[in-house]
């Protein structure tokens, strides 16, 4: 008993000595000082992801917004904008063509949530607005599983929660147009059984479904007919003309230009390309408008594919030559949006010039090609983030080289 008492007193004295010397024992018996612990806490706090200041919106103005396909090219830029505006954003994506990298800078933010979800299955959440972008968008991706491409729809959720629903439709609803430029009133010229039909016709039937729901279930709908869009975070290998030409130029490979069966000459089919930030402006304006008929969102500056290939080659400074290949089935021969409606209704028009947008996209692709290890991440940050005055203290990246310059 006396021995135990002595031992107890000895322990108490030792404890006070240790504490007074600011020394502790860790569970594995290692000795560590409070100063060391303080250092570790500081390091942990410094490594915590920090976010740019998002606008503060009152409860009344802040919306809960679902972006399906929010990890994809267009979706991730939309997420950036909505987050910076101060809304609560939920992304539902199955990562078929999207990447976590596109939105990882928001993971952990209290206004942001990411759900790994295939939108052909029901989703039970409460939201005020839905931007429905989930869908494979490039020909190799949508032709990979044509049946599934046709199945996309999520209007049941909009009906249940009475959310406003914006559908990302496409200029492909005009098919290979016989009317030029294309107005929203043009009904299109689509082959219903060609290789592109799974995409073109599914977007057409989706528009029809939106109107059926609007009429029958009184859902508030918006239809954006999106024309070709490009920018950072595009997939390198999605087979679309912008990514193909940039990649081929950066690697000094020959630039593949398709023949034009109906027009005299080669590479004479036309396209009009919008930079992604312009598209996002248009989508948000449309969502917040009170107009529910389809609206073209695109850039009316039209180029032949051959001109476009030469512009990219020059911007990259490549030695590539043009290689003319056989035409692909149902490739539209001309494409230019008539944007009178968007100008009048939404006071919207594209602002980014082709050369400016292409330079940013080329810089992104150039960085993408430099990546050799998983840790070297080519992360594109929103422009507003880069311009944020407290950038040096608000953004923590694993290595300085990962914070690429604004493209
Ligand atoms: N980029 C363009 O030029 C363009 C032109 C016209 C229309 N659009 C439309 O805009 C939308 C976005 O296109 P994008 O270029 O960003 O394509 P993208 O492939 O980069 O993005 C599509 C996203 O949807 C996701 N997705 C696909 N299937 C899904 C599923 N079953 N469940 C959940 N998520 C799924 C993908 O993982 C990806 O993140 C698409 O609906 C597309 O049809 C795009």
pLDDT (tens digit, 9 = 90+) per residue, 82-120?
999 999 999 999 999 999 999 999 999 999 999 999 998
Structure confidence at residue 73 as a pLDDT band (50, 70, 90): very high
State percent of the chain over pLDDT 70.
83
Residue 375's CATH number:
3.40.50.720
Structure confidence at residue 333 as a pLDDT band (50, 70, 90): confident
Among 66, 67, 68, 69, residue to substitute to test ligand 1 (most atoms within 8 Å of Cβ): 69
Stated pTM of the model = 0.86
Compute the distance from residue 387 Cα to the ligand 1 centre, in Å: 28
- Please spell the DSSP secondary structure of 189-219, one letter per residue: B--TTSTTHHHHHHHHHHHHHHHHHHHHH--
Among 66, 79, 95, 98, residue to substitute to test ligand 1 (most atoms within 8 Å of Cβ): 98
Residue 371 lies in a domain: yes
Position 214 pLDDT exceeds 50: yes
Compute the distance from residue 388 Cα to the ligand 1 centre, in Å: 29
Are 257 and 160 in contact by the 8 Å Cβ rule? The answer is no
Structure confidence at residue 7 as a pLDDT band (50, 70, 90): low
Position 170 pLDDT exceeds 90: yes
Domain co-membership, 203 together with 271: yes
**Residue with tokens 């998983």, as numbered in its chain:** 374
For residue 286, what are the domain limits?
64-402
Are 266 and 336 in contact by the 8 Å Cβ rule? The answer is no
List the residue whose alpha carbon is closest to atom 17 of ligand 1. Answer: 137
Type and span of the H or E element at 168 = strand 164-170
Ligand 1 atom closest to 169 (CA): 7
What torsion do the CA atoms of 310, 311, 312, 318 make, to the nearest 10 degrees? 60
In the DSSP assignment, the letter for residue 397 is -
Query: For the residues 190-196, what does the mean pLDDT come to?
Result: 93
Domain co-membership, 143 together with 288: yes
Residue 59 lies in a domain: no
Domain total of the chain: 2
pLDDT value of residue 126: 93
Structure confidence at residue 129 as a pLDDT band (50, 70, 90): very high
Domain co-membership, 277 together with 165: yes
Residue 252 lies in a domain: yes
Domain co-membership, 81 together with 216: yes
Are 315 and 355 in contact by the 8 Å Cβ rule? The answer is yes
Q: Is the peptide bond before 5 cis (omega within 30 degrees of 0)?
A: no
Ligand 1 atom closest to 102 (CA): 39
Position 362 pLDDT exceeds 80: yes
Residue 57 lies in a domain: no
Domain co-membership, 24 together with 158: no
Residue 328 lies in a domain: yes
Are 93 and 134 in contact by the 8 Å Cβ rule? The answer is yes
∠ at Cα 307 (355, 281), nearest 5°? 40
Domain co-membership, 220 together with 293: yes
List the residue whose alpha carbon is closest to atom 11 of ligand 1. Answer: 133
Top mean pLDDT of 16-30, 252-266, 320-334 is at: 320-334
Mean of per-residue pLDDT scores for the chain: 85
Domain co-membership, 276 together with 137: yes
Of 16-30, 136-150, 214-228, the least confident: 16-30
Position 390 pLDDT exceeds 50: no
Domain co-membership, 10 together with 138: no
List the residue whose alpha carbon is closest to atom 30 of ligand 1. Answer: 118
Compute the distance from residue 145 Cα to the ligand 1 centre, in Å: 14
Residue 106 lies in a domain: yes
Q: Which residues form the pocket of ligand 1, taking CB atoms under 6 Å from any ligand atom?
A: 68-69, 71-75, 93-98, 118-120, 133-137, 168, 170, 226, 228-229
Are 396 and 407 in contact by the 8 Å Cβ rule? The answer is no
Query: For the residues 37-44, what does the mean pLDDT come to?
Result: 82
pLDDT value of residue 258: 76
Specify the higher pLDDT residue, 222 or 326: 222
Of 92-101, 244-253, 294-303, 386-395, the least confident: 386-395
Domain co-membership, 325 together with 367: yes
Domain co-membership, 180 together with 297: yes
Domain co-membership, 276 together with 365: yes
pLDDT value of residue 395: 32
Residue 58 lies in a domain: no
Ligand 1 atom closest to 96 (CA): 37
Type and span of the H or E element at 68 = strand 64-68
For residues 96 and 235, what is the distance between their CA atoms, to the nearest angstrom?
A: 12
Position 134 pLDDT exceeds 70: yes
pLDDT value of residue 392: 31
Q: Which two tokens stand for residue 139?
A: 């020909």
Long-range contacts of 42-46 (CB under 8 A, 24+ apart): 46/396
Ligand 1 atom closest to 274 (CA): 3
Position 10 pLDDT exceeds 80: no
Domain co-membership, 33 together with 114: no
C-alpha to C-alpha distances, 401 to 193, 367, 392, nearest whole angstrom: 49, 11, 14
């Amino acid at each position: 008993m006396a021995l135990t008492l002595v031992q107890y007193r000895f322990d108490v004295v030792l404890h006070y000595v240790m504490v007074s010397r600011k020394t502790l024992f860790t569970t594995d018996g290692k000795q560590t000082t409070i100063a060391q612990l303080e250092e570790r806490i500081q390091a942990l706090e410094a490594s915590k992801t920090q976010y740019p200041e998002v606008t503060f919106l009152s409860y009344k103005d802040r919306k809960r917004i679902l972006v399906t396909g929010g990890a994809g090219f267009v979706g991730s830029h939309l997420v950036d904008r909505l987050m910076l505006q101060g809304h609560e954003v939920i992304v539902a994506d199955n990562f078929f063509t999207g990447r976590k990298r596109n939105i990882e800078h928001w993971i952990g933010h209290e206004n942001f949530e990411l759900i790994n979800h295939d939108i052909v299955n029901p989703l039970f959440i409460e939201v005020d607005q839905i931007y429905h972008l989930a869908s494979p968008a490039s020909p190799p991706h949508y032709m990979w599983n044509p049946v599934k491409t046709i199945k996309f729809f999520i209007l049941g959720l909009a009906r249940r929660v009475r959310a406003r629903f914006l559908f990302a439709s496409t200029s492909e609803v005009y098919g290979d147009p016989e009317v030029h430029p294309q107005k929203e009133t043009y009904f299109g010229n689509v082959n219903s059984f060609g290789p592109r039909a799974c995409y073109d016709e599914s977007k057409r039937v989706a528009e029809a479904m939106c109107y059926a729901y609007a009429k029958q279930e009184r859902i508030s709908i918006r239809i954006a007919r999106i024309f070709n869009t490009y920018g950072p975070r595009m997939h390198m290998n999605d087979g679309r003309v912008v990514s193909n030409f940039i990649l081929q130029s950066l690697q000094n490979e020959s630039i593949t230009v398709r023949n034009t069966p109906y027009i005299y000459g080669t590479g004479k089919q036309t396209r009009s390309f919008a930079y992604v930030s312009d598209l996002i402006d248009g989508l948000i304006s449309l969502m917040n408008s009170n107009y529910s008929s389809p609206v073209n969102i695109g850039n009316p500056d039209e180029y032949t594919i051959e001109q476009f290939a030469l512009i990219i080659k020059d911007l990259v400074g490549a030695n590539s030559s043009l290689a003319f290949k056989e035409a692909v089935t149902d490739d539209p021969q001309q494409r230019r949006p008539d944007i009178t409606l968007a100008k009048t209704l939404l006071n919207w028009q594209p602002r980014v010039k082709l050369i400016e947008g292409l330079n940013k996209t080329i810089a992104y692709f150039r960085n993408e090609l430099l990546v050799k290890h998983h840790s070297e991440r080519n992360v594109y940050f929103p422009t507003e983030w880069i311009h944020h005055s407290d950038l040096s203290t608000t953004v923590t990246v694993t290595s300085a080289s990962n914070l690429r310059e604004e493209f």
